[in-house]
Structures are given as structure tokens and as C-alpha cells.
Amino acid sequence: MNEALKVFLSSRLVVAGFIMILLAMILSAIAVFQTGHPSYYSSGTLGPGNHTLGNDTFENRYFYCNRSLSLSSKNATVEVSWGNFTAVYNITGNATFIPTDRPEVRVINGTVTYTYRAKAISYPYSDLAIPAAILAFAGTVVLWVGYTHALRGKRK
């Protein structure tokens, strides 16, 4: 067993393959590292008309956002939409929504007080996942070639 291990570790290709795979694992671990939870908050009163809530710069910058929209009014009719969802509500109190995209509110009549929150998850090093995948694939190929060369040398 010890002799076989010496033969494999003496092969430069096997060692290079191991190092490449180890580097790929480190890069992929860094790529999934999160840094903070940036958030966006806005509130105010909406009168009749169409209103797109949220901050375009904030919501396009981050990978995933948890959003919540709270509407309150004594008596108002609103159409709330995001993505493929559209619905009309008669609000006579509070209503809370969990949109999957930037919400659009069309106030048909009355006024509505709103609170909109978006919480993001930031993966600033996610671009390292691509070189990590390439390095892992190349390391596997180099390790396999080194392994077959080491076996061939051991057999002779």
C-alpha cells in the first residue's frame, strides 16, 4: 500500500490534478459566500393612476430579493400586478402581498398608503464559480491521465 502511494504521489500529473481539484473546491466555497443583506424600503401615499414601486437599480443589482408590499386604505380599489399575476382588490383596511417581482399598483379610486420592502442576498464572488468548474474538470482529466500513467509505469 505504501509503495503504491509513493508511485502515485511521485507522478507530477497526479499531484497537479489533486492541486487543481483542491483549488477548485476552495474557489467554489468562496463563490457561495454571502456578504450582508442589503435592503430597500419605501413608503408613501398613492393617488389614482399607475405606480411602479421599488428601485430599479437596487432590484436589478442583486440575485434574489424577498419582497413585501403592504397597502392600507379606508376605501380604495386597486389593481396589483407583478410578473404574470394581476388582481383587483377593494381595500378597506390592510392588505399584505409577497410579490415575486417589482409590483405595479394601479389605484382605480381613492388613495392608498403603501409600504414596500425588498431584502436581497448578495453573492459578490459568484463569478468565481465558472473558473472553479473549469478547474475541477481540468483537474479531473489531469488526475485521470496521471493515474493511468502511474499504473502503466507500475505494471512495467
51, 79, 84, 100 from 91: Cα distances, Å? 17, 10, 21, 21
Give CA–CA dist 146/17, Å, rounded.
8
Residue 103 and residue 51 share a domain: yes
Residue 92 and residue 53 share a domain: yes
Residue 150 and residue 114 share a domain: no
Which of 68, 70, 88 has its CA nearest to residue 78? Answer: 88
What are the tens digits of pLDDT across the range 140-153?
999 999 888 877 76
Domains identified in the chain, total number: 2
- What is the model's pLDDT at position 153? 63
- How would you class 75 by CB atoms within 10 Å of its CB: exposed for 0-12, middle for 13-18, buried for 19 or more? exposed
Instruction: Look at residue 40 and tell me whether its pLDDT is greater than 60.
Output: yes
Residue 54 and residue 73 share a domain: yes
- What is the model's pLDDT at position 113? 94
- What is the model's pLDDT at position 147? 83
Residue 5 belongs to some domain of the structure: no
Q: What SS3 state is found at 16?
A: helix
Residue 55 and residue 27 share a domain: no
Residue 93 and residue 29 share a domain: no
In this structure, what DSSP letter does residue 98 have?
-
Residue 116 and residue 131 share a domain: no
Residue 70 and residue 133 share a domain: no
What are the tens digits of pLDDT across the range 92-126?
999 999 998 889 999 999 999 999 998 888 788 88
Residue 131 and residue 114 share a domain: no
Report, as an integer, the average pLDDT of 54-80.
86
pTM (predicted TM-score): 0.65
Give CA–CA dist 62/7, Å, rounded.
49
pLDDT band at 59 (very low <50, low <70, confident <90, very high): confident
User: What range defines the domain where residue 29 resides?
Assistant: 10-33+125-155
Residue 55 and residue 98 share a domain: yes
What are the tens digits of pLDDT across the range 11-31?
888 889 999 999 999 999 998
Position 31: which residue type? A
Residue 49 belongs to some domain of the structure: yes
- How would you class 78 by CB atoms within 10 Å of its CB: exposed for 0-12, middle for 13-18, buried for 19 or more? buried
Residue 137 and residue 91 share a domain: no
